[in-house]
Amino acid sequence: FRINTTPVSDREGNTNLVVTLLEDITHLKEVDQMKSEFVSMVSHEFRTPLTSMNMGINMLLEENIGEINEEQKELLEVAKEDCEHLNNLVDDLLDLSKIESGEIDLEFDAVAVKKIFEASIQPFMTQAEEQGVDLITEETNGLEVYADFNKITWVITNLIGNALRYTGKGDKIKLLADKKGHKMHISVADTGEGIPKEYRHKIFKKFVRVGDDKDEETGTGLGLAISKEIIEAHGGRIWVESEVGEGSIFTFTLKLPK
Ligand code: ADP
């Protein structure tokens, strides 16, 4: 049941009446479940043909089968990129449907933030250097969180990957951890393009991407939706603060070890 309570005030502003609406949402839940199962099934069905298409294209490109001319090569390169895009989409959809259906078990442990930060930046060191972007982690002073190391590393990796797309030469991407009361605040801050105000809430929804997003090739519009699910499964929240032309700060909260 969905419960909706509305107080009703009289002319003097006194509340004498409260209207409570109970709405049976069993049907909505069933539809939602069917939708998730369908998406998961379709994604699984895409996996095998995509793998063989990818293999075929790679073999043709590597010229093991025979010589190809420049024009043919260009067409194959486009097909390869599209294949990679579809592969990313299938991976993301499967991850999301697993999380949504509660199939993913989180492995909670006390983990050093330093360890998470190191694992998260490692895959991007070369790319950041090539782009002339300064990728740095703030001193974490032995801070620890109670979390699933792999899942949280995935979230930060996704945030850094995004940040690198919207930053260029001379920009900075910084990872920060700040203990506030019983929570740890972890942020990925960039000095890149920023996100227009009207998109700041929407980007955490599935398939939402900002305006003329330049990364149509590899982006799926699912990264932040998955990140939100992962953080909420940890009992935390995720949000963004951003200013167009100045950059973005994505922050999420995690529990501290007991
Ligand atoms: P995608 O696969 O497109 O990156 P995400 O869910 O990760 O999907 O991100 C959604 C959209 O949010 C992106 O397409 C981009 O427009 C915007 N976005 C995310 N991170 C940043 C950032 N650091 N700076 C500017 N825009 C961003």
Handedness of CA 233, 248, 223, 204 (dihedral sign): positive
**150 C-alpha to ligand 1 centroid (Å):** 21
Q: Are the CB atoms for 175 and 136 separated by under 8 Å?
A: yes
pLDDT classification of 58: cutoffs 50, 70, 90: very high
Q: Which two tokens stand for residue 156?
A: 């930060």
Contact 190 CB / ligand 1 (< 6 Å): yes
User: Of all residues in the chain, what percent carry a pLDDT higher than 90?
Assistant: 59
Give the per-residue pLDDT at 66: 85
User: Of all residues in the chain, what percent carry a pLDDT higher than 70?
Assistant: 97
201 vs 212, residue with greater confidence = 201
Q: Are the CB atoms for 137 and 153 separated by under 8 Å?
A: no
Contact 154 CB / ligand 1 (< 6 Å): no
Mutate to test the pocket of ligand 1, among 187, 209, 226, 241 (most ligand atoms within 8 A of CB): 209
Of 125, 146, 123, 144, which Cα lies nearest the Cα of 135?
125
Q: What tens digit of pLDDT does each residue of 16-54 get? A: 888 888 888 888 788 877 777 888 888 888 888 999 999
What's the average model confidence in pLDDT over 82-99?
85
Question: Residue 197 above 60 pLDDT?
Answer: yes
Q: What tens digit of pLDDT does each residue of 136-173 get? A: 999 998 999 999 999 999 999 999 999 999 999 999 99
What's the average model confidence in pLDDT over 128-139?
96
**23 C-alpha to ligand 1 centroid (Å):** 35
Contact 221 CB / ligand 1 (< 6 Å): yes
